[in-house]
Amino acid sequence: AETGGMERADEGNAEAGGVESEDDGNAGTGGVEIEDDGNAETGGVERENDGNAETGGVEREDDGNAETSGVESEVDGNAETGGVEREDAGNAETSGVESEDDGNADTGDVEIQDDGNAETGGMERVVDGNAESSGVESEDDGNTGTGGVEIEDDGHVETAGVEREDHGKADTAGVEMQDDGNAESSGVESVDDGNAGRSGVESEVDG
C-alpha cells in the first residue's frame, strides 16, 4: 500500500494522489482512469474506445476526432467553424445551417429546395430555382411579372391587370374573356368573331 493512498487492485500498485480502480495498475496524473487502455488524458476524462480525449472537448464519435470549438455529431468527423454539422455532405456554411442534400446553404438564408439555390431577398419555394425580385414565384415557368403574381401557364402578367386567358394578352382598360384575344375599347367582346361595335356590345353571330 503506497504513501497517501489505499490499495484496492490486484497487482498491488496504488498511485500517488489517487486511487487505483482499474486492472492495469495505472491511474493518470490528476485524474481517475475509467477505461480499459490505462490512459486518462490531461484535462479531461477518457470515455471512448480509442483512448484519446481531445483538447478542450469530449470525444463522442467513432473516429476519435473532436474538433476545435465544436462537438462532432456526424459520421465524417468534420464540424465546421461556428456551426454544427447536421447533414450528409459534411459542409455547414457561414452564418447558416445546411438543411438540404447538396451541401450548399446560401449567405443569409436557409435553403429549402432541392436545387441548392436560395435567392437574394426571397425564399425559393418552386422547382425551377428562380425567385423573382419583389415577389414569390408560384408558377411553373419561373417568371413573375413586375408588381404582380403570375397565375397562368404562359409566364406573362400584364401591367395593371391579371391575365386570366390562354393566349397571354389582356387589353387596355379591360379584361379579355374571349378566345380570339381582342377586347375592344369601351366595351367587352362577348361574341365569337372578335368584333364589338362602337358604343355597344355585339350579341349576334354576324359581327
Residue with cell 495498475: 25
Number of H helices, E strands in the chain: 0, 0
Tell me, yes or no, whether 83 and 49 share the same domain.
no
Angle at 85 between CA 80 and CA 90, to 5 degrees: 80
- Please give the Cα distance from 136 to 119 (Å, whole number): 11
- Please give the Cα distance from 4 to 180 (Å, whole number): 103
Question: Which tens digits make up the pLDDT trace of 179-193?
Answer: 444 444 444 444 444
Question: Which tens digits make up the pLDDT trace of 31-46?
Answer: 444 444 445 444 444 4
**Which domain does 203 fall in, by range?**
171-207
Tell me, yes or no, whether 5 and 43 share the same domain.
yes
Question: Which tens digits make up the pLDDT trace of 67-113?
Answer: 443 444 444 444 444 444 444 444 444 433 444 444 444 444 444 44
Domain count, the chain: 3
Tell me, yes or no, whether 36 and 74 share the same domain.
no
Tell me, yes or no, whether 105 and 72 share the same domain.
yes
Domain membership of residue 165 (yes or no) is no
- pTM (2 d.p.): 0.10
% of the chain with per-residue pLDDT over 90: 0
